[in-house]
Amino acid sequence: MNKIASIAKKAGLDGFLLLLISMIGLAYIWPYPGMKSSPVPLGDIATYGVSVVFFFYGLRLSPEKLRAGLSNWRLHAMIHLSTFVLFPLIALACRPLFVGEENEMLWLSIFFLTTLPSTVSSAVVMVSIANGNIPAAIFNASISSLMGVFITPLWMGLVLDTASGHFDLMGVVGKLSLQVVLPVALGLFLNKKWGYFAEKNRTKIRYFDQSTILLIVYTSFCESFGEHLFSGFEIKDIVLLGIGMISLFFLIYMVLTFFSRLLNFNREDEITAVFCGSKKSLIQGAVMSKVLFSGAAYAGVMLLPIMLYHALQLIAASVLAQRMARESLKITDSE
């Protein structure tokens, strides 16, 4: 249990998860500071914080790390097809199960989750623990974040256009490019000069990242609680949603395992495929929600599935990575 706890802590599943839950509780008890009517613009502060987060991300992402993972195109294709095609198609196939206006919003939040890019830090951590292809994991997780700026709005435009009739795709992509792509590009440009500083202070930067996410979650849920959008949800609904999220994770995991073996991937590439292709980014989810659902009271509802998936994927992936590490050790000892 201590080993699992240690792995979970490295992946971010520790006090941060408890703080996330606390932010939701605080928003429920005291929503006013995070609402648009508040004199303190917490939402705008979170928006600027996101750009700083991605600037530091680009600062730590050296061009050498990206070049190291370019050659294995079959692995890259599988991971990104899983992240941006398989996930959304599963959600679309389940849409008939969500009948009624309230359930339609729940489905929309799940579909939003499925269109998001993969995580960066936790995906690479899990691949490292399980002895997978680390350069490929870094490459795919990094590229996934940038691809999501364009692909997530495209997917969401299909359903939001149908629902609202006025989804501004180019406006959303433009905002995300300014908020995400430009800071990352600036960070990459300054990598040689300041990259060492970002690596040296990665722990402090991580705390800043988490603080920004906490602020986004708080402000999003403040609007939702202030408008009483969760009044129709019961505890059993949250439990069922959690079961659905962990089931989705294992379904993707099994599909990726099957195709990795069908394509004769080596063990390292299979590990990278199943961890990078089955994860979804809470950071990107929070960022995207601020742009896609800007000013909408239901922004907190949109974040509920990704928060559950984030926590459950870390627990499941930690256990799986530890098991793969033991199996890898046995293989090494037998050679």
Domains recognised in the chain with CATH numbers: 2-334 (1.20.1530.20)
CA distances from 196 to 181, 190, 204 (A): 21, 10, 14
CA gap 170, 50 in Å, rounded? 20
Query: Beta-carbon neighbour count of residue 147 at 10 Å?
Result: 16
Q: How confident is the model at residue 297, as a pLDDT? A: 62
- pLDDT above 80 (res 288): yes
Q: Is the pTM of this model over 0.85?
A: no
Q: How confident is the model at residue 40, as a pLDDT? A: 79
- pLDDT above 50 (res 149): yes
Instruction: Look up residue 117 and give its DSSP letter.
Output: P
Residue tagged 């389940």 (tokens) = 94
Q: Average pLDDT for residues 95-102, to the nearest whole number?
A: 83
Closest to 54 in 3D by CA, of 323, 327, 290: 290
Q: Average pLDDT for residues 268-284, to the nearest whole number?
A: 90
255: confidence class by pLDDT, cuts 50, 70, 90: very high
The amino acid that residue 193 corresponds to is K
Tokens of 266: 């080596």
Distance of CA 108 to the CA centre of its chain: 16
165: confidence class by pLDDT, cuts 50, 70, 90: very low
**For all residues of the chain together, what is the average pLDDT?**
80
Query: Beta-carbon neighbour count of residue 134 at 10 Å?
Result: 18
Q: How confident is the model at residue 282, as a pLDDT? A: 81
Tokens of 213: 């996410």
Helices (H), the chain: 2-11, 15-29, 42-60, 63-68, 73-81, 87-93, 101-115, 121-129, 134-164, 169-176, 182-189, 191-200, 202-226, 235-262, 267-276, 282-292, 299-334
326: confidence class by pLDDT, cuts 50, 70, 90: confident
Q: Average pLDDT for residues 241-264, to the nearest whole number?
A: 95
CA gap 322, 67 in Å, rounded? 28
Torsion of CA 134, 137, 142, 145, to 10 degrees: -150
